[in-house]
Amino acid sequence: MKRTSTPATRVFVYGTLLSGEPNHGLLSGARLVGPAKTRPRFTLYDYGPFPALASGGKHAVAGEVYEVDALMLAALDRLEGHPRFYQRTTIALDGASRVEAYLFPTERLAGRPIIESGCWRRHLKERKSW
């Protein structure tokens, strides 16, 4: 009996799902497409233990793109609380490819610090030196 495979979904990660970060294990078995940046139309916020990406803004946010199957995408949706906490949305990366990303509602980010560099890893290093 032939197994039908589900089509892969490309997902842009920019925080705790990055390689070496605490939630990266959820991507075990996913194919790393490579490093990527968003177009400069977003804002990255410090939400304490994790970042929050919001549309609107002037930053290009750094991250990685992975190809995931339907089961892994469902696991990511659970982690990110989609659609009640984060909302999975299609965005355009620098270079025009379109991927799924987890965005945070802007109205829930009032007063949160903006990560000017657009890079969670760099921000973590800088935060340790405060």
Going by C-alpha positions, the residue among 13, 56, 5, 8 that lies closest to residue 31 is 8
In single-letter form, the type of residue at position 14 comes to Y
The alpha carbons of the chain give a radius of gyration, in whole angstroms, of: 15
Tokens representing residue 126 in the block:
């800088």
Distance CA 50, CA 76 (A): 15
Tokens representing residue 3 in the block:
């197994």
Distance CA 64, CA 57 (A): 20
In single-letter form, the type of residue at position 68 comes to V
Is there a catalytic annotation at residue 80? yes
The one catalytic residue in 21, 64, 67, 80 is 80
Active site residues: 80
